């Protein structure tokens, strides 16, 4: 649940309960998704504010992030933590591309209250009861 493009990685939720999945994916629930994104440059406060304010694409679509903060910086790149409440197709990649910023790596680390944590790449686990309850509360399900 909650697609990732082929160049992205991170947390996915799997279910065979389509009604439950539809409730969680409904934009009206405002279930946040958190991403760690490595970009090809360091960003100043003005660029971070531009991400919050949004960028209008050539097709008229306005893309913006809910939250953004720098979590780590190197000499030539940065890791950002980006929060979205509504994720459109390739939302983060398209927004950053419109700002001439290249995404080097994109990892979804949380969906609502469920966090990826230290789960190794390619592994899975069953959600705990408290996580299921927290998802239900977060989605008003």
pLDDT at 141 over 70: no
Please give the angle made by the CA atoms of 39, 138 and 106, to the nearest 5 degrees.
15
pLDDT at position 1, please?
53
The percent of residues in the chain predicted with pLDDT above 70, rounded, is: 96
The percent of residues in the chain predicted with pLDDT above 90, rounded, is: 72
pLDDT at position 4, please?
78
How confident is the model over 99-119, as a mean pLDDT? Answer: 95
pLDDT at 96 over 80: yes
Q: Is the dihedral of CA 50, 54, 56, 57 positive or negative?
A: positive
Q: Between 52 and 121, whose confidence is greater?
A: 52
CA distance 6 to 16: 22
| β pairing state of 103-111 and 9-10 | parallel
Query: How much is the CA Rg of the chain, to the nearest whole Å?
Result: 16
Q: Which residues form the catalytic set?
A: 5
pLDDT at position 21, please?
86
Contact by Cβ (8 Å): 138, 33: no
> Tens digits of per-residue pLDDT, 25-51?
877 777 899 999 999 999 999 999 999
Q: What token pair was written down for 93?
A: 């990649």
Domains located in the chain, CATH noted? 9-13+28-135 (3.30.2350.10)
Give residues with Cβ within 8 angstroms of 8, minimum separation 6. 106, 107, 108
């Amino acid at each position: 649940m909650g697609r990732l493009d082929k160049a992205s990685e991170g947390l996915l939720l799997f279910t065979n309960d389509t009604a439950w999945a539809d409730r969680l994916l409904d934009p009206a629930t405002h279930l946040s998704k958190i991403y760690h994104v490595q970009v090809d440059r360091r960003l100043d406060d003005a660029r971070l504010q531009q991400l919050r304010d949004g960028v209008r694409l050539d097709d008229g679509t306005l893309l913006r992030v809910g939250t953004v903060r720098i979590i780590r910086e190197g000499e030539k790149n940065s890791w950002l933590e980006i929060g979205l409440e509504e994720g459109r197709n390739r939302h983060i990649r398209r927004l950053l591309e419109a700002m001439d910023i290249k995404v080097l790596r994109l990892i979804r680390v949380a969906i609502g209250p469920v966090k990826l944590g230290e789960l190794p790449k390619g592994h899975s686990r069953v959600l705990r009861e408290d996580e299921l309850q927290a998802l239900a509360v977060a989605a008003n399900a």
